[in-house]
Amino acid sequence: MTRIHTLLIGLLLMAAFTTAQADRLTVAIPSAFVPFMFQEDDEWTGFEVELWEAIAEENGWDYEYNTMNFSGIITALQTGRVDVAIAAITITSERENTMDFSHAYYDSGLMLMVRADNDEIEGIDDLDGKQLAVTTGTTSDDYAETNLDNTELRRFSRAEQAYLEVRSGRVDAALHDTPNVLYYIETAGDGDVKAVGENLEAQSYAMAFPRESELRNDVNIALLAMMEDGRYAEIYEHWFGEEPDPR
């Protein structure tokens, strides 16, 4: 085999490897946001994970998860460094300017968490002069920054860190997405924390893509098919113990 033949084979193998890499989608995902995505026995599971994996299988997509904190996910979407994100991402008008969204598939909001023995805070109006834990880059962070001028904000990269600050008494309350707050209280709170006040800021979750993504339409087609044939309802009921509201 001549040197030229060897060089040509090397170039062909490199091209094939590059093509294989290009065909594999990069899926941004937070380290945990129960019950939407988390790892169990080193395997990803959760409501959004099951949705995504069913959609990917239907489209014949190969993919890999790339774990990062929530603010990093938003930046990665805005700069096009990932193909899609599943991170319980709330659709907002501001985010619509820099990324695309699938059809909504979960209705959420924001909820306050306090220690179980805290009787001073019964809602958002009781936070003046208090310390509030929020997760950086989330809608809870945005809400608190806009509406709670007399509250000291403590920002954390993960919701679980904010919750532990409440349990330890280092902050007075945490504000985060309602389903995650309630799930944490029920499954991991050990009776130390409780939810107070009303569900704030009606919100909807969706998968997110960089602007003008070619994946969005295929994701929406598969998602709507799952909603029509009952697969979406089956996954929803498995994780939330109730049937989804009709859409």
Angle subtended at Cα 171 by Cα 168 and Cα 175, rounded to the nearest 5 degrees? 110
Cα angle 115-118-124, degrees, rounded to a multiple of 5: 90
Strands 173-177 and 193-210: unpaired
CATH numbers and ranges of domains, the chain: 22-106+203-240 (3.40.190.10), 109-202 (3.40.190.10)
Query: What's the pTM value of the predicted model, to 2 decimals?
Result: 0.75
Q: Determine the pLDDT at residue 10.
A: 46
DSSP readout, 44-60? EESHHHHHHHHHHHHHT
* Mean pLDDT within 233-242: 93
Q: Is a pLDDT exceeding 50 seen at residue 45? A: yes
Percent of the chain with pLDDT over 70: 90
Q: For 12-28, what is each residue's pLDDT tens digit?
A: 444 333 333 458 999 99
The mean pLDDT of 112-137, rounded to a whole number, is 97
Identify any residues that bridge with 210 across adjacent strands, giving them in sequence order. Answer: 99
* Torsion angle of the four alpha carbons 184, 243, 207, 133, in this order, in degrees rounded to the nearest 10: -20
Is the pLDDT at 118 greater than 60? The verdict is yes
Q: Under DSSP, is residue 137 helix (H, G, I), strand (E, B) or coil?
A: coil
The pLDDT value given to residue 193: 97
Would you state the structure tokens that stand for residue 148, as one six-digit string? 């709670």
> How many percent of the chain have pLDDT more than 90?
83
Q: Where are the alpha helices (DSSP H) in the chain?
A: 3-23, 47-59, 70-79, 93-96, 139-147, 159-168, 178-187, 215-229, 231-240
Q: Which amino acid is at 117?
A: D
- pLDDT tens digits, one per residue of 155-204: 999 999 999 999 999 999 999 999 999 989 999 999 999 999 999 988 89
**pLDDT of 147 higher than 80:** yes
| Residue 202: predicted pLDDT | 82
